[in-house]
Amino acid sequence: MTSSAPTQVDSLDIAGLLARYRAGSLSSTAVAHAVLERIAAAGDDKVWISRVPDAEVLARAQALEALPAAERAALPLYGIPFAVKDNIDVAGLATTAGCPAFAYSPERTATGVQRLLDAGAILIGKTNLDQFATGLVGVRSPYGVARNPFDSRYIPGGSSSGSAVAVSAGLVSFALGTDTAGSGRVPAGFTNIVGLKPTKGLISTAGVVPACRSLDCVSVFALTVEDSLDVLAVMAAPDPADPYSRPAPPSPPAPRAPFRFGVPRAEQMPFFGNAEAERVYREALGRLERLGGVRVEIDFAPFAAAADLLYSGAWVAERTAAVGDFIAAHPQETLPVTRTIIEGGRALSAVDAFRAAYRLEELRAQAAPVWETIDVLALPTSGTIYTIAEVEADPIRTNSTLGVYTNFVNLLDLCGIAVPAGFQAGGLPAGITLLAPAFRDAAVGVIAAALHRAAGLPLGATGAPHPAARPTPYGGAGLLELFVVGAHLSGLPLNGQLTDLGARLAGPSRTTPAYRFHALPGAPPRPGLLRMAEGGTAIDGEVWELTPEAFGRFVASIPAPLGIGPVELADGRRISGFLCEAAATVGAPDISAFGGWRSYLDREAPAK
């Protein structure tokens, strides 16, 4: 390996790296050197199944640096190191799915991975997993057990074990996993990181070795919720190569205020004798309440019954359909526990499949009313954690208990984000997962990001502090922008009219110097923005995002003399915003000199 550059690289969180790249205080080559040194220092941690050669990693970083500045700035993941679970294809690296005899050399890179590469990310390698992505434990691999960075005696969780450990240990900024029954969430809980399980179909599974093709999702492990949503924003797109992919309809990127979070009744929540895991979970619920959430007790029975269907119903046969022929032809080349589970699908008939499908629809109907009373469901990511020895002694039971709070999610078409909740007395991390119906990924992200930050935990096992809050980046597709200048600004009296419609603050902005600003009569106090042919000034405001339906409802509620029309912003955009009829400004005080409504209310801005 080439000797490293001396530049200090503390945290690999995406926002932090991008900020330093933009400031010119860090180079992608320095980050590549740092990552390769960390991997070398980690030694035989059983994280990797294959690696991009060091020279190629450095060459990729150098090629990115050689791009013109404008092209570098246009890459949303410029210079960000990442890893890929080894059931996802990357041209030039073998795909094993955790089974050496199954290995093949893909000609094409999986659609989702290619989108990351096109966005400027740097691939480091492919990671360990439970064989054929069958398991939540992370020990079912002929390549060994990826070392839990908090205690090597304990499981890292699976099936995406290597990806989670790589992020937690600070070897990459983010990593891809897959999630069928919880594989993108359980390992996050055991390694103190974020696990994003997006809505099914948002990320293409073309180029992914299927487990249950109708349920499989590509998941994202990251150090922060915002980072995970950055990655989702790059990857989410329909793909003709994946018949299960689907576009996201416009959806509110933020939850209502106050948001309501569901919690099962106490007798419906097993922790399998782990009082510490329960304590950490209960403390996380308290944080949700302090963040403004309202706790709502729900009946968890239909969710639990759906979870039981995953391995007792026809979806085991879907695993058999995926890789059963290979296992039958190579019985000695697969792990006994994996072979037993997947071969079990052969005992299920088409009649069993239809009965399971009918039962699932019954449970879906029973669960549906819950979502009328809550915005998110807050569950332990897992009820407990086990040592490697405990799992090896009882592999089926221990794995099953880890799926109690995860197995139903894809069956019921939910999205979710697992975030760190705290540490048990012995130093092991525990997580909490927030779930919601399909396509509410961004709304879940808003709450999950706040909850993660409120816990005050370091990032993964790196010891790095949590970075400053920033807007959750995913969810803008199909949304309409609105420029507000008065009482609808955040924190002011009419702002609730926006937030009640699920609007999200995109950020502050300013008009071009072509407007005059007037204090209109009436209550509550409000201004009028008037475009001028000459003699104007720039006025401060905020840009908010709404769905088309919410935008229409909001516009319909605006009383004269105010209205919505095109407003020119200083950054060159022309978006909808508040304007005023010229006649209403006659005799109304001109407050343009204050430069904005907040400054006028404070009466502190100097006159010009």
End-to-end CA distance of the chain: 61
Task: Walk me through the domains of the chain, giving residue ranges and CATH numbers.
Answer: 14-298+376-454 (3.90.1300.10), 480-602 (3.10.490.10)
- CA angle 68/79/421 to nearest 5° reads 145
User: Which pLDDT score, from 0 to 100, does residue 506 have?
Assistant: 83
CA distance 326 to 349: 20
Stated pTM of the model = 0.83
Q: Specify the 3-state DSSP secondary structure of 374.
A: coil
| Helix 225-235 and helix 111-118, axial crossing angle in degrees, nearest 10 | 110
Please state the φ and ψ torsions of residue 576, each to the nearest 5 degrees.
-70, 140
Banded pLDDT at 2 (limits 50, 70, 90): very low
Name which of 145-159, 276-290, 320-334, 500-514 the model is least confident about.
Answer: 500-514
* Cβ burial 537-565 (10 Å sphere, 16+ → b, else e): bbbbbbbbbbbeebbeebeeeeeeebeee
74-121 confidence digits (pLDDT tens): 999 999 999 999 999 999 999 999 999 999 999 999 999 999 999 999
Q: Is 85 designated active site?
A: yes
CA distance 130 to 137: 7
Per annotation, catalytic residue among 11, 141, 159, 228? 159
Closest CA to 489 of 499, 479, 481, 480: 499
Structure token digits, residue 165: 């450990």
4-36 confidence digits (pLDDT tens): 445 689 899 999 999 999 999 999 999 999 999
258-291 confidence digits (pLDDT tens): 899 999 999 999 999 999 999 999 999 999 999 9
Q: How many other CB atoms are found less than 10 A from the CB of residue 100?
A: 12
229-261 confidence digits (pLDDT tens): 999 999 999 999 999 999 888 766 566 668 999
The region that residue 439 occupies, defined by phi over 0 for left and psi between -120 and 50 for alpha, beta otherwise, is left
Per annotation, catalytic residue among 11, 27, 28, 85? 85
Q: State how beta strands 526-531 and 515-520 pair.
A: antiparallel
Per annotation, catalytic residue among 173, 183, 219, 592? 183
Closest CA to 85 of 38, 47, 33, 34: 47
Q: Is 141 designated active site?
A: no
CA distance 397 to 103: 29
CA 568 → CA 179, 336, 503, 552, 597, distances in Å? 44, 66, 21, 21, 18
CA distance 436 to 10: 34
Gyration radius (Cα) of the chain, Å: 26
Judge contact between 129 and 97, C-beta under 8 A.
yes
Judge contact between 494 and 252, C-beta under 8 A.
no
* Cβ burial 319-352 (10 Å sphere, 16+ → b, else e): bbebbbebbeeeeeebbebbbebbbebeebeeeb
Give mean pLDDT, residues 31-43.
97
CA within 13 Å, CB half, 393: 5
> What mean pLDDT value characterizes the chain?
94
Q: What percent of the chain clears pLDDT 70, i.e. is strictly above it?
A: 96
Banded pLDDT at 523 (limits 50, 70, 90): confident
Q: What pairs with residue 517 in β-bridges?
A: 529
Q: Is 197 designated active site?
A: no
The verdict on whether omega for the bond into residue 524 sits within 30 degrees of 0, i.e. cis, is yes
User: Which pLDDT score, from 0 to 100, does residue 258 have?
Assistant: 84
Judge contact between 164 and 193, C-beta under 8 A.
yes
